[in-house]
Structure 1
Amino acid sequence: MRKASRVDSLIRSKLENIESPFAEFAAANLRRTTKLTFSPPTEPVAVTASRTGNTAAVTPNHPWPVDSAGNPMQHLAQLNLAELPAREELPAEGLLQFFVAVDDHMGTTNGADPNYRGSVVRYIPAAELETAAAETHDHPKSIFTIDQFRITGTLYDQAPQYDDYQFSAVAEQAGIYTEEEDFLDSIGFYDDEDFEDLDEEDALEEYGWLDPVDALEDVTDHYAQLFLGGWTQHPQQDPRNYLHDENSRYFNPHFHTQDMQLLLQLASATGIDIGHDGILHFFIGDKDLANLDFSTPLYSFSAH
């Protein structure tokens, strides 16, 4: 975690100044999402509550999912839609659950096995919840170092994030440069003596960061745990850049006629260990979402 510094205050003041090019651009391109907050529970968590950890709700029609080898998957998150802010794209009730395979690739694949099943997203209708029971599967490779979290949600209008795959196109249309150095110049990032002669070694020693884009994202409307929509953050490349690349593990013609949006972004945090500051993403096509068809999500995992 990078410590606060006078540079943080400088950047924040620039972004809050509506005359700055980035502030105008950000204000014009806010995206609605739901910010998720994870808190260790202070009392027992209901079976169908919004939660993370190794326990989740199952019903006769929705038993615990298994991977392609028949092994129980790891439960990542269970979202009770009645407990979260209403979103017009989704029902007002029911559960959305997210699972991944427990293997060395954390549910991803290199594309060599077309039958590989590494992730599951499913919707359990509210009518089934009366028959729901709690089931637990502990995994030695679980990403959770705290047994479980209670999840709450807040509607959130998020500013653009630099590594989202749509940032470049939107920024170019708005006249904001997208080459790293030019982009930072365009928002006045370096227009202060604090930034003069600040090489990477000095930056790491004094401020705890190397990449100025990372520093910038730390003081924008950056939030790592997100549900449905918004701008995404990526330690590596946004996988949506590779949907048409036949050599990519993300290639899938099913996605080629759809607008892929974020369904869930889950990032490393206290009690959540996803590789080295890693992030998990589940994306869904707009047509699939309209049909409440969660059978073909785009799932990715990346870390620094």
Structure 2
Amino acid sequence: MPTERPLFLLAQWNFADLPHMDGYPTDGLLQLFIVEDVEAEHSWEIRYLPASLLSDVREVAPSWTSGLNDLPFNGPDVTFKLVGAPICNPMDMSDRGIEDLIDECLDQLGDEARDFYDDNDADIDDLLFELLGTGGHLLGGHPTFTQNDPRDWLDDDDDLVQLAQIDSIEFSMMLGDNGIGHILIPRDALRAWDLSRAVYQWDCY
């Protein structure tokens, strides 16, 4: 969405340098820009630049002033380069689908296992929280939320899945209080690579 506010690059993925994932391009750049005012009606911009356009891309940095207190980084030259690698990323306890998954597992294990879970659900949930929580920077996979799963209120009609996850980096890039950012997109829009329906959301502790 066009805006007169200056945009700051928060994250960029070069698909040519990453292991291929089903449903994702094999080249080009995925970029996430944010504005300094996190309360703005439209505080982010998501775009994809196909490889055919990269030769025309030039770097334009918005002016930086000391008053930019709401950005997650504390200076114009804060950069991090990540190396992509496939990982195992289980659904964790912050995902809205975890209760159905646990219920399905208990159905397979039988009544004795369900009774044991019902008697010890708080301790088991705490253990699962420790075992399954991953966080970190991701393309695809299951999201980790610090608060409630925002897909419960973003749009009940869309089957939103994670396109990308951006985690805080202590003392260097902080989304609020150790927060995590997510690009979420309807599943059918991901298959069509229609980023016009993607949304950016972040929450923190």
The alignment's TM-score, normalised by the length of structure 2, stands at 0.81
Deviation at 1:166, TM superposition (A): 0.9
Shift of 1:117: 2.2
Compared CA separation, residues 233 and 151, structure 1 to 2 (3 A): same
**SS in structure 1 of the partner of residue 146 of structure 2:** coil
Q: Measure the CA separation in 2 of the matches of 1:135 and 1:181.
A: 59
CA change 1:180–1:98 in 2 (3 A) is farther
Mapping of 1:51-66 within 5 angstroms? none
Q: Deviations over 1:106-142 (max 9, x none)?
A: x5xxxxxxxx322221110100011111121246232
Alignment-derived partner of residue 145 in structure 2:
234
- The 1-side partners of 2:118 and 2:54 are apart by 49
1:268 matched to 2:199? The reply is: no
The aligned runs of 1:139-218 (5 Å cut-off) are 140=68, 141-145=70-74, 147-175=78-106, 182-185=120-123, 187=124, 213=126, 217-218=129-130
Shift of 1:259: 2.2
**Alignment root-mean-square deviation, CA:** 2.6
Distance in 2 (CA, whole Å) between partners of 1:92 and 1:66 is: 27
1:118/1:181 CA distance change after superposition, 3 Å = farther
**Structure 1 residue 82: deviation in Å?**
0.4
Residue 274 of structure 1 and its aligned partner are, at CA, apart by 0.9
Of all paired residues, the percent bearing the same amino acid is 24
Between Structure 1 and Structure 2, the one with more helix by share is 2
Residues 1:225 and 2:137 aligned together:
yes
Q: Where does structure 1 lack aligned partners over 5 or more consecutive residues?
A: 1-64, 108-115, 188-211, 243-249
For 2:47, the aligned partner's letter is: R
Distance 1:298 1:183, change over 3 A: farther
| 2:13 is the counterpart of 1:79 | yes
Once residues 216 and 170 of structure 1 are traced to their aligned partners in structure 2, the CA distance between those partners, rounded to angstroms, is 12
Q: Please tell me whether the aligned partners of residues 30 and 49 of structure 2 are also in contact (alpha carbons under 8 angstroms).
A: yes
Cα distance change, pair 126–159 in 1 and its aligned pair in 2 (3 A):
same
Q: Please give the alpha-carbon distance, in whole angstroms, between the structure 1 residues aligned to 2:13 and 2:38.
A: 26
Distance 2:35 2:45 in 1: 9
The number of aligned residues is 190
**CA pair 74-95 structure 1, distance change in 2 beyond 3 A:** same
Residue equivalent to 1:14:
none
After superposition, the C-alpha distances for 1:51-99 in whole angstroms (9 at most, x for unaligned) are: xxxxxxxxxxxxxx853xx111221111000001101201211010111
Q: What's the secondary structure of 1:127's corresponding residue?
A: helix
Higher relative contact order (CA 8 A, sep 6+): 1
Question: What is the CA–CA distance in structure 1 between the aligned matches of 2:134 and 2:23, rounded to whole Å?
Answer: 23
TM-score (normalizing by structure 1):
0.56
Corresponding residue for residue 98 of structure 1: 32
Which amino acid in 1 is paired with 2:151? R
C-alpha distance in 2, partners of 1:174/1:84?
34
